[in-house]
Amino acid sequence: MRTKILVFAVLAFALVLSACGPAVVGQGAQPVTRTLTVNGLGSTYLTPDIAYIYIGVHSEGATASEVVQANKTQTNAVLDALKKAGVDEKDLRTTNFSIWPSQQYSPEGTVTGTIYMVDNTVYVTVRNLDGLGDLLDDTIAAGANSINSIQFDVADKSAAVKEARAKAVEDAKKQAQELAEAAGVKLGEIQSVSFYDNSPYPVFEGKGGGGGGAAAQSAVAIQPGQLTISVTVNLTYDIK
């Protein structure tokens, strides 16, 4: 009886080996795919045609109601000056209105009183850069005493981005050909393409606040300069 059980066990083990055998024999080493990957860079330069500015009014007073009313009057005058300078209503957006008390102290450290402070800031989109200097003059004369972060940009960058991408692809192709020749291989088909658009970051020309129209110089000098749009393209080739 034990002999029959042993025979059956041997036969079952043999069947398992025979079932696994062809699969093991049929598996071979996969062919190695050789590739070459390059990164190309393309850039275009643009002259800004739009600007974004934070223009505000800071006021201080003995009572909250007094300082709010003074700030309101002064801010409305600044808004009127902006509109007269050609800024559309849709390009004016309030980004901050705040009021807070500030305790005043004597040299000895004792509290001598409290004044109230109000800030009202408007985010302005300027679409006529030729008149930007005069616009700043007019707003300062109207009562703006906080002007921050003049940021230049280009309204429509689509054509410039397209040009930068084309330059990046050509740069990548050129690099791939040069590397293939140096390595003694031939380029095959392109297997993958990826890219990254590096849109221009805001260019801050300066930061400062006015102190009133009398202290401001006329014809504020503004230099928009240029913006750079860069695109990186990644190409992967088969090589032979």
Q: Give the contacts of 19 (CB within 8 A, at least 6 positions apart).
A: none
Q: What is the pLDDT of residue 205?
A: 44
Domain count, the chain: 1
Tokens of 62: 């003995």
Residue 229 located in a structural domain = no
Range of the domain at 112: 49-155+203-221
The tens digit of pLDDT for each residue in 151-175 reads 899 999 999 999 999 999 999 999 9
- According to DSSP, residue 131 is labeled G
Tokens of 237: 């080739």
The tens digit of pLDDT for each residue in 66-113 reads 999 999 999 999 999 999 999 999 999 999 999 999 999 889 888 889
CB 233 within 8 A of CB 168: yes
pTM over 0.85: no
Residue 237 located in a structural domain = no
Q: Which of 167, 182, 195 is nearest to 36 (CA)?
A: 182
> Which residues does residue 192 pair with via DSSP β-bridges, in sequence order?
236
The CATH number that applies at residue 86 is 3.30.70.2970
